[in-house]
């Protein structure tokens, strides 16, 4: 299932890189607002679309522990499938996947 989100993640990450060059270091909320993905990020949680939530999080370069913590805070159990998806998407955007 997470293969469907590889292209989305790569596109968001490319946008994140452009924003970082222009604006420097940013908070997660700043990254979401400037990238235009804030509403989709919030909607993905409300809709329980964990794959999309992870894809956007990885795309804006949120570190793995923070992604897991955000999911836990929202009542999501971290499964092996979630761990694998995070790792696979991170490998894809870094060009090693």
**Full residue range of the structural domain in which residue 71 is found:** 2-93
Report the number of distinct structural domains present in the chain.
Answer: 1
Contact residues for 34 (Cβ-Cβ < 8 A; gap 6+): 19, 23, 26
DSSP assigned state of 45: H
**Would you state the pLDDT for residue 7?**
86
Over the stretch 60-88, which tens digit does the pLDDT of each residue have?
999 999 999 999 998 999 999 999 999 99
pLDDT on residue 3:
67
pLDDT for res 45:
87
- Check residue 85 and give its pLDDT: 92
The pLDDT score that the predictor gives to residue 97 is 46
Q: Are 89 and 56 in contact (CB under 8 A)?
A: no
User: Is pTM, for the whole model, over 0.85?
Assistant: no
pLDDT of residue 81: 93
């Amino acid at each position: 299932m997470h293969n469907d989100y590889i292209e989305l993640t790569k596109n968001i990450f490319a946008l994140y890189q452009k924003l970082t060059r222009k604006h420097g270091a940013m908070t997660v909320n700043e990254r979401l607002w400037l990238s235009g993905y804030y509403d989709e990020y919030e909607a993905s949680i409300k809709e329980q679309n964990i794959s999309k939530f992870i894809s956007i999080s990885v795309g804006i370069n949120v570190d793995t522990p923070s992604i897991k913590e955000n999911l836990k805070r929202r009542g999501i159990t971290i499964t092996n499938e979630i761990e694998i998806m995070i790792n696979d998407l991170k490998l894809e955007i870094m060009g090693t996947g």
